[in-house]
Structure 1
Amino acid sequence: MGTDHFLYQDKQECYYTKGTQRARFLYRHIWNQQQDVHFDSDVGVFVADTELGEPATKHWNSQKDVLEYNRRSVDRFCQNSNP
């Protein structure tokens, strides 16, 4: 009897524009090695990358507290760790 394995990942990344104080926060939701949803602080909302990600995107974008938390993440995670 085989066992199915699935990989779930959340990745948070900070990108910096060289020579400026500007930072960009990127949250990536990955299911089974495929990114299905991402949040980019430059865009300010969740974006579905696959059909599988559409329900989560609609749900998260409808919640003001979730959006605000992710919009503030650029300050919380990136500005305090600027290389």
Structure 2
Amino acid sequence: QAKHECYFTNGTERVRYLYRDIYDRQQLAHFDSDVGVYVADTELGRPDAEHWNKDPAELAYRRAQVDTFCQSLRGGG
């Protein structure tokens, strides 16, 4: 399972995007736009996080979600 979340602070001035990779109700790894890379939350998630962090296209895609996915939630265009 994957969860995508946007956090808006200071009105909508500051936006944080969070992607969570979840298996069997346990978060294995996550991407936080404030950090800019994937972080393993468990040893099981470490290989995936390392793999995704080596892929420039994947990182660029996730980093852009602040302006694409989150923008659609706040009604901007």
- TM above 0.5: yes
Larger Rg: 1
Displacement after TM superposition at 1:79 (Å): 2.1
Counterpart in 1 of 2:32? 40
Q: TM-score, normalised by structure 2?
A: 0.91
Query: Which residues of 2 match residues 3-82 of structure 1 at below 5 A?
Result: 9-82=1-74
Give structure 2 stretches of 5+ with no counterpart.
none
The separation in 2 between residues aligned to 1:20 and 1:56, in whole angstroms, is 31
Secondary structure in structure 2 of the residue aligned to 1:19:
coil
Displacement after TM superposition at 1:20 (Å): 4.4
2:6 partner letter: C
Q: CA RMSD in A?
A: 1.2
The separation in 1 between residues aligned to 2:69 and 2:22, in whole angstroms, is 20
The separation in 2 between residues aligned to 1:20 and 1:32, in whole angstroms, is 33
The separation in 2 between residues aligned to 1:20 and 1:63, in whole angstroms, is 30
Higher helix share: 1
Matched length: 75
Q: TM-score, normalised by structure 1?
A: 0.85
Q: 4+ residue runs of structure 1 moved beyond 4 angstroms? A: none
